[in-house]
A = this chain, B = another copy of it.
Amino acid sequence: LREEAVFMIGKALVSHLSAIGDLSREDADALRGISGEVRTLGKGREIFRKGDCPEVSVVVLEGLLARYETRADGGRQILSFYFPTDVPSLETLHIDYLDDDLGALVDSTVGLIRHKVLFGLMDEQPNLLHLIWRMTLVQGAICRQWMMRNSSLPAHARMAHLFCEIFNRAKAMGRSTGNSCLLPITQEILGNALGLSAVHVNRTLQVLRDSGLVEMKGSRLTIVDYDQLAEMAMFDPRYLHNRALAQEGPLVRPRRRGS
Contacts and interface: CB of A to CB of B under 8 A. Distances in A.
B137 A94 contact: yes
A135 to B, nearest CB: 9
Interface in A179-222: 194-195
Interface stretch (A7-15, A26-34, A234-242): A234-242
Nearest to A112: B258
B95 A53 contact: no
A139 interface: yes
A99 B141 contact: yes
Contacts of A234: 71-72
- State how many copies of this chain the complex holds: 2
A72 to B, nearest CB: 6
Interface string A64-83: 00010101100101011000
Please report whether the interface of chain A is mostly helix, strand, loop or mixed according to DSSP.
mixed
A151 B150 contact: yes
A141 B94 CA distance: 12
22 contacts: A37-B259, A50-B252, A51-B255, A53-B256, A53-B257, A55-B256, A67-B144, A69-B144, A69-B148, A71-B152, A77-B151, A80-B144, A91-B137, A97-B254, A99-B145, A112-B258, A136-B136, A143-B143, A147-B151, A150-B150, A150-B151, A152-B195
Contacts of A43: none
Contacts of A62: none
Interface string A88-121: 0001011111011000000000001010000000
Contact of A144 (B79, B97, B133, B252): B79
